[in-house]
């Protein structure tokens, strides 16, 4: 009824509404005149009042006032004596006043009714909007992957979103109205009283809880609770958002297991390393001592018995001494090589130019009686273990000196081949005997030698040591050579 | 040259090393005032004038050549005791060892050793090292007061 009226009002815009007033008065006038013709008097008044009421009801206040004016005029002209004049006889005056006042009353009531209706409609529209908005918000809560549960203070579920259904397996209609802790068999990390106390004190609580799903499997969730209070600050509900961390926990557990295993392996490795260190120590100490004795006593024997020995015996003695010396060098080189694998690198800023000068000083003994043209160009400051990098330089310089021995004038150059962001490539170039590039891959292997011992002496550990140091620094080594024309050794170092 | 020769205390368990060391010292007439002790305990007995050394004169040696790997009390322990004793800590101590291990070197210097020498494998180098040690510590260096000087 209200709704159709609303539509009617919309249809009746101003002109039709006033037309409605005129028409209704005209329609009331027609039967009045007909009935008056047949001497049925006093019907016209209710008819006019009916027309006014109809207009007021359907067309509003303005047309209703028009209908009052028209009705009064028609009544005055057609029915009040004297008829067909606008003059009103005294006897008919109460009728006119009755018509006007009663019609006015009808219009007034009708307008009150209309305004009440309007307010009602507005209130309803507003309510509809709010409902729409709330519905949208509620559907947003259903969109989230997180589970959202609202419970009253007795843990009875009041709201259960689709995330909760997805995670726990119960539909909202199954869960709402039940106690959540019973439904889900929740295991709390602390007592429920403590949780409640914290919730009331701070308004929130969070922790990891274990729950059982509808299918019986366990799930671990990270749960966050917020307390809702009413206008009087009384706690009324708890909103819980939570997300599934079962997989996360499982991975954590797995990582913990792996870490434990790693720690154990690391302990084992440490033990192995200690053993290795003990071995190296005993090599260093216990193998060197008898070697020194062999060399020492052979030397003493040579001194004492030299005159009594024949040429062959003297050569035997010399061979014993040379071999002992060579073995000593071998042990020393092997120890250096193994130490680089065992010892932590102590990285600092290293001035390579300064270090090259020190290395040149260290190999000075090997250059006695030689004509060597040194060329040291600008070298960068790099980042690395100073003593290890010195081993690299000493080895490379020592090699350069050794393999240029057949040259009347040796040329050895140390420089920087390339600099890129964070890295520099240093080279040591010589004009020595060089090597065939097809053996380049063998150069850096332990005990790999490209020359006969009687040609160029050596232990075959030097370049392996160089490679090990540079690899431990995260760098690369390479070599270029041409037989009889010299060799270039490159190594890269990181640069600040 | 040798009239101001200081006394050398050698702590060495290996008789062959002792012989080679003495040979090297003899070669340069440095062996006259040499005391040999075969282990750390004996060395400490000597320094504290205990046991078989209770009757020795109380003067300290001009230098002590100390091996690290020793029976009973090892070299580092001997060094530690000497350097923490007010009466002994002035004695110059030279560690003479086969060990090239960095940790031995670091430990020795931490304890206040005066020099660290790795015994060279080559006999010539060995003799040179011993000679230079003997010449420096027993002749050139002025030992602390209270040391034996012939």
Q: How far apart are CA B63 and CA B57, in angstroms?
A: 16
Q: What is the pLDDT of residue A5?
A: 61
Both structure tokens of A84: 């067909």
Both structure tokens of A289: 């001592």
Question: Touching check for B31 and chain A: CB below 8 Å?
Answer: no
Q: What is the pLDDT of residue B1?
A: 40
Pairwise CB contact (< 8 Å): B16 & A284: no
Q: Which residue of B has its CA nearest to A293?
A: B16
Question: Touching check for A328 and chain B: CB below 8 Å?
Answer: yes
Q: How far is A360 from chain B (nearest CA, A)?
A: 22
Pairwise CB contact (< 8 Å): A295 & B123: yes
Using an 8 Å CB-CB cutoff, list chain A residues near B102: 339, 343
Map tokens 């002792």 to a residue.
B18
Q: Does domain B2-140 have CATH number 3.40.50.2300?
A: yes
Of A293, A298, A335, the CB nearest to B100: A335
Which among A450, A460, A495 is positioned nearest to A330, based on CA atoms?
A460
Task: Choose the mutation target among B14, B95, B123, B124 for the interface with A, i.e. most A CBs under 10 Å.
Answer: B123
Both structure tokens of A486: 């010299």
Q: What is the pLDDT of residue B24?
A: 87
What is the pTM for the complete model shown? Answer: 0.50
Q: Average per-residue pLDDT in chain B?
A: 85
Instruction: Per-residue pLDDT tens, chain A, 496 aa: give them.
Output: 455 565 655 555 778 888 888 998 888 888 888 888 888 777 888 888 888 888 888 888 888 888 889 888 888 888 887 888 888 778 888 888 888 898 899 889 988 988 898 899 999 999 999 988 888 877 777 777 778 999 998 889 998 988 889 889 999 898 899 998 888 888 888 888 898 899 899 999 999 999 999 898 999 999 999 998 988 888 989 999 988 898 998 999 999 999 999 999 999 988 887 787 777 767 767 788 888 888 889 888 888 888 888 889 888 888 888 888 888 888 888 888 877 877 778 889 999 999 999 999 988 888 888 899 999 988 889 999 998 999 999 999 999 999 999 999 999 999 988 778 888 999 999 999 998 888 888 888 877 777 777 778 777 888 989 998 999 898 999 999 999 899 999 999 998 8
Q: What is the pLDDT of residue B2?
A: 43
Question: Touching check for A301 and chain B: CB below 8 Å?
Answer: no
Q: What is the pLDDT of residue A58?
A: 85
Domain boundaries in chain B? 2-140
Question: Touching check for A326 and chain B: CB below 8 Å?
Answer: no
Higher pLDDT, A338 or B26: B26
Q: How far is B44 from chain A (nearest CA, A)?
A: 23
Q: What is the pLDDT of residue A10?
A: 59
Both structure tokens of A409: 């004038």
Task: Choose the mutation target among A273, A289, A331 for the interface with B, i.e. most B CBs under 10 Å.
Answer: A289
CA distances from A108 to A57, A69, A113, A122 (A): 11, 15, 9, 21
Pairwise CB contact (< 8 Å): A325 & B99: no
Q: What is the pLDDT of residue A4?
A: 58
CA distances from A177 to A22, A111, B10 (A): 62, 48, 95
Element at A245 (helix H, strand E): none
pLDDT tens for each residue of B61-116: 888 999 988 888 889 999 999 999 988 888 999 999 888 777 889 999 999 999 99
Higher pLDDT, A356 or B142: A356
Question: Touching check for B141 and chain A: CB below 8 Å?
Answer: no
Pairwise CB contact (< 8 Å): B121 & A324: yes
Say if residue B3's pLDDT is above 70: no
């Amino acid at each position: 009824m209200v709704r159709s009226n609303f539509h009617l009002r919309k249809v009746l815009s101003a002109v039709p509404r006033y037309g409605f007033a005129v028409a209704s008065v005209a329609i009331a006038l027609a039967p009045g005149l007909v009935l008056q013709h047949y001497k049925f008097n006093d019907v016209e008044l209710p008819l006019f009042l009916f027309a006014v009421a109809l207009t007021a009801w359907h067309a509003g206040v303005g047309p209703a006032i028009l209908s009052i004016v028209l009705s009064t005029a028609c009544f005055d002209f057609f029915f009040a004596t004297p008829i067909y004049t606008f003059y009103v006889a005294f006897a008919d005056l109460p009728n006119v006043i009755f018509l006007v006042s009663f019609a006015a009353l009808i219009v007034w009531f009708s307008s009150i009714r209309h305004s009440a209706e309007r307010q009602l409609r507005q209130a309803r529209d507003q309510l509809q909007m709010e409902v729409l908005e709330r519905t949208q918000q509620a559907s947003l809560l259903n969109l989230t992957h997180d589970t959202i549960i609202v419970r009253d203070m007795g843990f009875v579920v009041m709201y259960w979103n689709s995330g909760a259904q997805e995670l726990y397996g119960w539909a909202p209609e199954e869960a709402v109205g039940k106690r959540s802790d019973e439904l889900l068999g929740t295991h709390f990390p602390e007592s429920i009283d403590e949780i409640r106390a914290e919730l009331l004190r701070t308004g929130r609580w969070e922790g990891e809880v274990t729950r059982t799903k509808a299918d019986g499997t366990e799930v671990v969730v990270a749960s966050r609770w917020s307390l809702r209070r009413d206008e009087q600050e009384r706690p009324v509900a708890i909103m819980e958002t939570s997300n599934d961390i079962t997989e996360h926990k499982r991975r954590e557990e797995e990582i913990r297991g792996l870490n434990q295993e790693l720690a154990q392996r690391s302990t084992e490795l440490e033990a192995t390393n200690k053993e290795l260190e003990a071995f190296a120590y005993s090599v260093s100490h216990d193998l060197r001592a008898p070697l020194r004795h062999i060399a020492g006593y052979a030397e003493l024997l040579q001194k004492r018995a030299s005159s009594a020995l024949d040429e062959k015996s003297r050569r035997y003695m010399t061979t014993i001494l040379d071999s002992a010396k060579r073995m000593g060098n071998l042990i020393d080189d092997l120890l250096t090589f193994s130490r680089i694998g065992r010892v932590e690198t102590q990285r600092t800023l290293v001035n390579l130019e300064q270090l090259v000068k020190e290395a040149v000083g260290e190999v000075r003994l090997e250059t006695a009686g030689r004509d060597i043209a040194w060329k040291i160009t600008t070298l960068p400051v790099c980042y690395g273990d100073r003593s290890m990098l010195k081993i690299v330089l000493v080895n490379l310089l020592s090699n350069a000196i050794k393999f240029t021995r057949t040259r009347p004038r040796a040329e050895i150059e140390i420089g920087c081949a390339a600099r890129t962001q964070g890295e520099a490539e240093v080279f040591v170039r010589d004009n020595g005997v060089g090597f065939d590039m097809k053996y380049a891959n063998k150069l850096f292997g332990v005990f790999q030698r490209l020359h006969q011992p009687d040609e160029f002496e050596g232990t075959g550990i030097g370049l392996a040591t160089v490679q090990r140091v540079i690899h431990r620094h995260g760098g690369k080594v390479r070599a270029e050579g041409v037989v009889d024309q010299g060799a270039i050794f490159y190594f890269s170092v990181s640069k600040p | 040259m040798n009239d101001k020769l200081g006394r050398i205390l050698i702590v060495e368990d290996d008789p062959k090393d002792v012989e080679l060391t003495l040979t090297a010292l003899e070669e340069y007439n440095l062996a006259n005032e040499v005391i040999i002790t075969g282990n750390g305990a004996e060395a400490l007995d000597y320094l504290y004038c205990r046991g078989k050394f209770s009757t020795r004169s109380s003067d300290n040696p001009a230098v002590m050549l100390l091996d690290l790997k020793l029976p009973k009390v090892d070299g580092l322990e001997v060094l530690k005791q000497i350097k923490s004793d007010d009466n002994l800590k002035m004695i110059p101590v030279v560690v003479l060892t086969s060990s090239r291990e960095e940790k031995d070197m670091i430990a020795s210097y931490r304890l206040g050793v005066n020099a660290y020498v790795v015994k060279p494998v080559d006999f010539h180098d060995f003799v040179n090292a011993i000679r230079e040690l003997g010449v420096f510590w027993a002749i050139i260096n002025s030992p602390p007061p209270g040391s034996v000087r012939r």
